[in-house]
Chain A
């Protein structure tokens, strides 16, 4: 009997996938583990591999088409074998409600698009082992050491098992092709061609962002608290630290200092370090700070775990490493989920002040603007001080005005007097 090839859930949050390219055509012989097609998920371009040996009897889904996870995309069987119902699968029907997601996926740092309920395809049941990657123990360890996502590696062992040689050759593999696809769709700088506009289909990551931001700004009652912080001492401290680090490298950024201060302040204000969970609120005793990172065609929030317990140098090294891999789309799912609070920084883009959209189920996010020299009255004189505006978005179901304000006061004290972080 012919075997169905399903659209597999190639990332934990994937609900649908766009068939970018068929690597095999009808009539080709295929072996279990061989790549059949490239599929764009909500996170990356991944490979869909054959789960059976035989001939690719019928391709049901054409290139460029998006179908829900679980839908049949092709059939594999013996040459000449008939496939059920002419192999046609139910077309992707927009139906049903948005399933509640508790995972902490691409974070919204910037002003959100208008809330617009978006039809979402009904996710169908994926094959039970669709997300399980078969890999030899050695390959698993090597991939972990090298920061390679095994899901992105094509296994050449029996049944598609990822083995040593696959991990060794992984960096040169098609991930780059995925990135290239993404780049080609980004409509930046305008080239005057005479065509008034260009329609660009939503990429999977853009769809996810749209859906999640709408799911955030809509149902979550946001309110915003802004404060201005004097960064003179923090800037002096940073300069001194970096001078001392000197040639050792690994300079500390303002962002690192802010992440550390946020983490320490959260330890004192657990009410802000919480998840809204429908019928209960989960107050966290650990602080995992998500940090919004812009990537091609989207954004993602890698998480710095237990940031309160880490030194500035550790935070600096970790955030640099995570951001680098985020840009290469090499983050593992557990590295961008599980945050308890987020930070979004647009200071480097000369944005003085903005509000960020909460990344559910977290209850708060802080938007950081640029540090600007300002004339400040101090007693009878006016002096020029480096100042920074910071705005916290709060989920009012979890955090009340005074609660958020108390947290911000602690954070402000820490940043204005960095020695307070040692308390």
Chain B
């Protein structure tokens, strides 16, 4: 199986889907001539021309709205945000138009659109450009939300997102684009709504997604040195959530730590804890712990930023707490 970077896996998914379906097109800032701020669309303008690889002005609300209109007209737009931090300018189109079109048209107008781009903190991008929006978009009925953590999942989920007849938010990561991994050639689809056990364990479940998979895996390595067997469950899809996979893992290990990007208050982890306490109550041996971003605007200072983010050390400490070891 070929080894690709996360960015090239996304590129492959876009290319394959555009070859497969002439209705698919990509639109966003710098996606064409510059080949993408993060080079996800490298070579696509050359192959598909400016009709299908469309450079836009710096106007997120405008091109998100053009995308919604194109989807209403029967095309399958992929809208790239240079980062999800900029997508908040387009939230009216995402929340009020894309998410509600099928519902408010009485089922007459499907909305096969993908909004994608890097989400969450990278390195020293400061308070306004380091935000993780998964709990915002996951909150909205009518939207689907995926957050791939590996190159293979990035390809498989983006392809599924483009073929889905509903608006799908694809949350990527600036720090993930260079991540290498094996990616199946050709038709590789990852179904939306299916979590993946990335590492089997029996003592505690570390529930993660996107960039926090790496955090959880490092934590699991450290825990293994302490003879603690951690299961790493990658959610991959945040809406719909894979309830069964989450509950099955917690019922097996009796303990859970949620490792998330974003702030704790009303975050994705709160949703997971709600599910677990309700449907796996009798299987819990300890209250579920959460590790996420500190409840402050992301600091610019490198040391403070590191301290504010989820880290393997914090996850190890939380895992030891649910195991009553400290």
Contacts and interface: CB of A to CB of B under 8 A. Distances in A.
Interface of A: 136-141, 156-158, 163-165
A138 B324 contact: no
B324 A137 contact: no
Interface in B237-295: 254, 281-286
B285 to A, nearest CB: 4
Contacts of B284: 136-138
A158 B287 CA distance: 11
A191 to B, nearest CB: 48
B324 A163 contact: yes
17 contacts: A136-B284, A136-B285, A136-B286, A137-B281, A137-B282, A137-B283, A137-B284, A138-B254, A138-B283, A138-B284, A141-B282, A156-B324, A157-B286, A158-B324, A163-B286, A164-B254, A164-B285
8 nearest A-B pairs in the assembled complex, by CB-CB distance? A138-B285, A164-B285, A141-B282, A136-B285, A137-B281, A137-B282, A137-B284, A138-B254
A412 to B, nearest CB: 47
Contacts of A137: 281-285
Given A136-B286, A157-B286, A163-B285, 15 more contacts: A136-B284, A136-B285, A137-B282, A137-B284, A138-B254, A138-B283, A138-B285, A141-B283, A156-B324, A157-B324, A163-B286, A163-B324, A164-B254, A164-B285, A165-B324
A165 B284 CA distance: 13
Nearest to B321: A158
Nearest to B254: A138
A165 B324 CA distance: 10
Q: Which of A136, A139, A140 has the most B CB atoms < 10 Å from its CB?
A: A136
Nearest to A140: B282
A140 B254 CA distance: 13
A197 B286 CA distance: 55
Interface in B197-212: none
Nearest to B281: A137
Nearest to A139: B285
A142 to B, nearest CB: 9
Nearest to A162: B285
Contact of B282 (A138, A157, A163): A138
Interface string B282-317: 111110000000000000000000000000000000
Contacts of A141: 282-283
Contacts of A140: 282
Chain B interface: which size bin? under 10
Contacts of B283: 137-138, 141
Contacts of A163: 285-286, 324
A156 B285 CA distance: 12
B282 to A, nearest CB: 4
A31 to B, nearest CB: 13
Contacts of A138: 254, 282-285
Contacts of B254: 138, 164
A140 B281 CA distance: 11
Contacts of B281: 137
Contacts of A157: 286, 324
Contacts of B286: 136, 157, 163
Nearest to A164: B285
A310 to B, nearest CB: 26
Nearest to A167: B285
A355 B285 CA distance: 50
A139 B324 CA distance: 14
A139 B286 CA distance: 10
B140 to A, nearest CB: 32
Nearest to B280: A137
B213 to A, nearest CB: 27
Nearest to A141: B282
Contacts of A156: 324
A173 to B, nearest CB: 17
B226 to A, nearest CB: 16
A2 B250 CA distance: 41
A349 to B, nearest CB: 44
A421 to B, nearest CB: 39
B82 to A, nearest CB: 46
B283 to A, nearest CB: 6
A295 B286 CA distance: 37
A139 B282 CA distance: 8
Nearest to A156: B324
Interface string B118-141: 000000000000000000000000
A158 B285 CA distance: 12
Contacts of B324: 156-158, 163, 165
Q: Which of B281, B283, B286 has the most A CB atoms < 10 Å from its CB?
A: B286
Nearest to B286: A136
A15 B6 CA distance: 70
Nearest to B277: A137
A141 B324 CA distance: 19
Contacts of A164: 254, 285
Q: Which of A137, A141, A157, A158 has the most B CB atoms < 10 Å from its CB?
A: A137
B4 to A, nearest CB: 42
A268 B204 CA distance: 56
A131 to B, nearest CB: 22
A162 to B, nearest CB: 10
Contacts of A165: 324
B251 to A, nearest CB: 10
A164 B284 CA distance: 9
Interface string B57-81: 0000000000000000000000000
Contacts of A158: 324
Nearest to A158: B324
Nearest to A138: B285
Contacts of A136: 284-286
Nearest to A163: B285
B308 to A, nearest CB: 27
Q: Which of A156, A157, A164 has the most B CB atoms < 10 Å from its CB?
A: A164
B319 to A, nearest CB: 15
A137 B281 CA distance: 6
